[in-house]
Amino acid sequence: MLRQSTMRLTGLSVQLKLLVRAKAFSTSSTRYANRAVVYTETGNPADVLRVQSYDPLPSPPSDSVNIRFYFSPINPSDINLVQGVYPAKPAQLQLSAEQQAFVGGNEGVAEVVDVGNAVQGLRKGDRVVVGKPQFGTWSSSRVVPAQDLIKLPSSGLSDVNAATIIVNPPTAYNMLHSFVELQEGDWVLQNGANSAVGQAVIQIAARKGIKTINFVRNRPDLDNLISALAELGATHVFTYDALGDKSLVKHVKQWTSDRPIRLMLNCVGGRDTTAMTRLLGENAHLVSYGAMSKQPLSLPTSQFIFKNLTAHGYWQNRWYNEHTRQEREELMRTITDLQLKEPEHEVLDLSNESSDEAATQRLRDIFVKMEQGFGKKVLLRL
């Protein structure tokens, strides 16, 4: 599990100030000028997060653009960052001349609304994402250096897919391509298979003729989940309960015609993950990218000695930090071309709430629901 730490924004007023809000658009619905989901100390998101209006943006400096986010997802790592258990620095936002706060959000889709006079290759109305981790996307409008933006095609990619393109699909794509050279007919094993990453893994693998054995938690509507994952291209779907069945290894060998499973993707950790490694063949690679169970992962030494298992961690943030803007854009193009299904989602539109307090209450309510297992990606609109 990641180290628990407490972060506190010092020297800042934590008092909520009601700022005068200007109406941004004169459409039938009211959208207030600028709002963000902010916090001044780490803790339980339902307690520490609040929605706050902030000052209108100035015109952008010559090398920057002003953007307006329209959908910004809430991902598990965003929650971990607010809790103070994720090893990254949260972004800070200047709310007014005298007030600053941390602002959440690592991805989101935005529209360019104003362009600095030296910027090339970006125009008003372009659809963009921020190509740098931890930008603080839970905000309505922001000034961004043009070099940090990735322009997305204006068509061929839904706004929901555009809003969720930076974190989960590239993680799935890179894990499937970076550790084992998979060929058509090869097999991949994964847990947390119904997560956004897991669903992207299923789809990307299926497009290449790679078969997947997928594990999920049991639930009352399991049959629906199994059908939905099968529709995405999953070859087999099990609950972790199946790991208690001694004949599972034999069945897997039959399905795979003894072709060794050489890649396992781990989103969960804990004892079930340990048990899954029994299904791996020789020279396999276990890639851990999440720790949803919050349990440590222990692996039998025999797997390393007799089966030559290799264990890795994967972090998409590291990939972004180590790759150029051109490489990031290339990855976005690759993901766009894959035409992945939109993740199941719900939009939490706080842009029309009459007060920051009312918006904060709705936001906190959704975090309470998410703690209980909401089952859908929440996309914020501020």
The set of catalytic residues is 86
Contact 261, 213 (CB under 8 A): yes
Q: Which is nearer to ligand NAP, 187 or 320 (CB)?
A: 320
Q: Answer yes or no whether residue 171 interacts with ligand NAP by CB under 6 A.
A: yes
Site mask, ligand NAP, residues 242-271, x = CB under 6 A?
A: -------------------------xx---
> What is the token pair recorded at 98?
């005298």
Figure out which of the listed residues 32, 70, 102, 289 binds ligand NAP, where binding follows CB under 6 A.
289
CA–CA distance, 50 with 48 (Å, rounded to integer): 7
Contact 96, 33 (CB under 8 A): no
Q: Residue 59 Cβ, how far from ligand NAP at the closest point, in Å?
A: 35
Count of residues of this chain found to bind ligand NAP when the rule CB under 6 A is applied: 23
Figure out which of the listed residues 42, 141, 168, 277 binds ligand NAP, where binding follows CB under 6 A.
168
Q: Answer yes or no whether residue 316 interacts with ligand NAP by CB under 6 A.
A: yes
Give me the DSSP letters along 281-306.
Answer: -TT-EEEE---TT-------HHHHHH
Q: Residue 127 Cβ, how far from ligand NAP at the closest point, in Å?
A: 22
Q: Which is nearer to ligand NAP, 112 or 180 (CB)?
A: 180
Strands (E), 75-185: 91-96, 99-103, 109-115, 127-130, 141-145, 149-151
Give me the DSSP letters along 214-281.
Answer: EEE---TTHHHHHHHHHHHT-SEEEEGGGGG-TTHHHHHHHHTTTPPP-EEEESS-SHHHHHHGGG--
Q: Answer yes or no whether residue 373 interacts with ligand NAP by CB under 6 A.
A: yes
CA–CA distance, 160 with 137 (Å, rounded to integer): 15
Q: Answer yes or no whether residue 132 interacts with ligand NAP by CB under 6 A.
A: no
Figure out which of the listed residues 52, 72, 77, 274 binds ligand NAP, where binding follows CB under 6 A.
77
Q: Answer yes or no whether residue 273 interacts with ligand NAP by CB under 6 A.
A: no
The residues of the shown chain that bind ligand NAP, judged by CB under 6 A, are 75-77, 167-168, 171, 192, 194-197, 217, 267-268, 289-290, 292-293, 314-316, 373, 375
